[in-house]
Amino acid sequence: MKAVARRLVILIPYLWLLVFFLLPFLIVFRISLSEPAIAMPPYLPVFDLEEGWRAIFDKLSQLTWGNFEFLLEDSLYINAYLSSLRIALLATFLTLLVGFPLAYGMARAPQGLRPVLLMLVILPFWTSFLIRVYAWIGILKPEGLLNQFLLALGLIDRPLAILNTETAIFIGIVYSYLPFMVLPIYANLEKLDYSLIEAALDLGCTAFGAFWKVTAQLALPGVLAGCLLVFIPAMGEFVIPDLLGGTRTLMIGKTLWTEFFNNRDWPVAAAVATLLLLVLVVPIVLFQNAQARAQRAAQ
């Protein structure tokens, strides 16, 4: 009885994944294999159990890879994927550049101050993500706070065009996802025994050498976790490029939205989503496999 209960407990996360990830994904995947139609729902074929299993089986042959072929043929989609990849990679790197010193500073702050700093990092979450991104419009627009400030200081003669450029997207992503970078790195650095740094100094390392050979190496798992946590949502990001990036920037999240709402082409939108998932999942699975293997080798 006990063994059964234990198995049920283990089953819960799998059930969760099945119901909230795998089933929706299968539905999306199945739509991606359909043809668009002006109907409700807007695709064909539609499986209806009332027509009997036989009819459903017949309709299976109507499913097609055509949408995927279309995605690969039209350079718009490939460019959108590549552009998203570039922006997500660069934004992740920038977030790391800002996040690591922040996490390092927090981890080296006096013990009593750390919970406060942690609180400050999490604090932005208390305001809606959408509102915070809107607030950046107010800051970055030509007559916005940043330009007024810089003009008042006399650092610039005319307003900088930041809004509706890629720079604005980077600012938005770094700002929005910074906590996801800071928290895992902080968790890693906080555990770091400072005597390791002293040992490195004692053995002849300069301060920078000790940082690179000890601190950075030991923070690596946190850095990787943080990068994944930023890279994955940045890759499919829609709100930030839509609000801050203007019409010229091409990102896959925006393309997806256009297909779905403007063109009402659910099958192509579903194919875009499926490919996006593959682009994200495959490297992550490979990466985690490699990590698990490295861990086994270490034991």
Partner 1 sequence: MTKSLGNIRRTFAPWNDPASRPYIAFENVTKRFGDFTAVDDLTLHVYEREFFSLLGASGCGKTTLLRMLAGFEEPTAGDILLEGRSLKGVPPHRRPVNMMFQSYALFPHMTVEQNIAFGLRQEGMARGAVDQRVADMLKLVKLGEFGKRKPHQLSGGQRQRVALARAIAKRPKLLILDEPLGALDKKLREETQFELMDLQQELGLTFMIVTHDQEEAMTMSDRIAVMDSGRILQIGTPAEIYEAPSSRFVADFVGSVNMLEGTVETVSGEMTEISGKDGLAIRVTGESGAGAGDKVWLAIRPEKIRVSRNRPENGANAAEGEVWDVGYLGDMTLFNVRLDTGAIVKASVMNSRREVEDPIGHEDRIWVSFAPDAGILLTR
Options 199, 281, 282, 292; binder of partner 1; rule CB under 8 A: 199
Options 56, 89, 137, 201; binder of partner 1; rule CB under 8 A: 201
Options 37, 63, 137, 218; binder of partner 1; rule CB under 8 A: 218
Under the binding rule (CB under 8 A), the answer on residue 298 touching partner 1 is: yes
Q: Which is nearer to partner 1, 128 or 299 (CB)?
A: 299
Residue 92 bridge partners (DSSP): none
Q: How many Å apart are CA 91 and CA 85, to the nearest integer?
A: 10
Q: Which is nearer to partner 1, 74 or 198 (CB)?
A: 198
CB 280 within 8 A of CB 197: no
Residues binding partner 1: number (CB under 8 A): 19
Report, in Å, the least distance between residue 24 CB and partner 1: 40
Q: How many Å apart are CA 94 and CA 173, to the nearest integer?
A: 9
Q: How many Å apart are CA 237 and CA 277, to the nearest integer?
A: 13
Report, in Å, the least distance between residue 208 CB and partner 1: 11
Options 48, 58, 69, 202; binder of partner 1; rule CB under 8 A: 202
Place of tokens 């702050």: 109
Q: How many Å apart are CA 235 and CA 276, to the nearest integer?
A: 8
Under the binding rule (CB under 8 A), the answer on residue 272 touching partner 1 is: no
Under the binding rule (CB under 8 A), the answer on residue 107 touching partner 1 is: no
CB 223 within 8 A of CB 96: yes
- By CB atoms closer than 10 A (0-12, 13-18, 19+), residue 24 is exposed
Q: Which is nearer to partner 1, 218 or 225 (CB)?
A: 218
Under the binding rule (CB under 8 A), the answer on residue 61 touching partner 1 is: no
Q: How many Å apart are CA 221 and CA 185, to the nearest integer?
A: 8
Q: Which is nearer to partner 1, 75 or 111 (CB)?
A: 111
Q: Coil, helix or strand for 154?
A: coil
Report, in Å, the least distance between residue 104 CB and partner 1: 17
CB 215 within 8 A of CB 199: no
Report, in Å, the least distance between residue 295 CB and partner 1: 11
Q: How many Å apart are CA 178 and CA 120, to the nearest integer?
A: 12
Under the binding rule (CB under 8 A), the answer on residue 195 touching partner 1 is: yes
Residues that bind partner 1 (CB under 8 A): 193, 195-196, 198-206, 209, 213-214, 217-218, 298-299
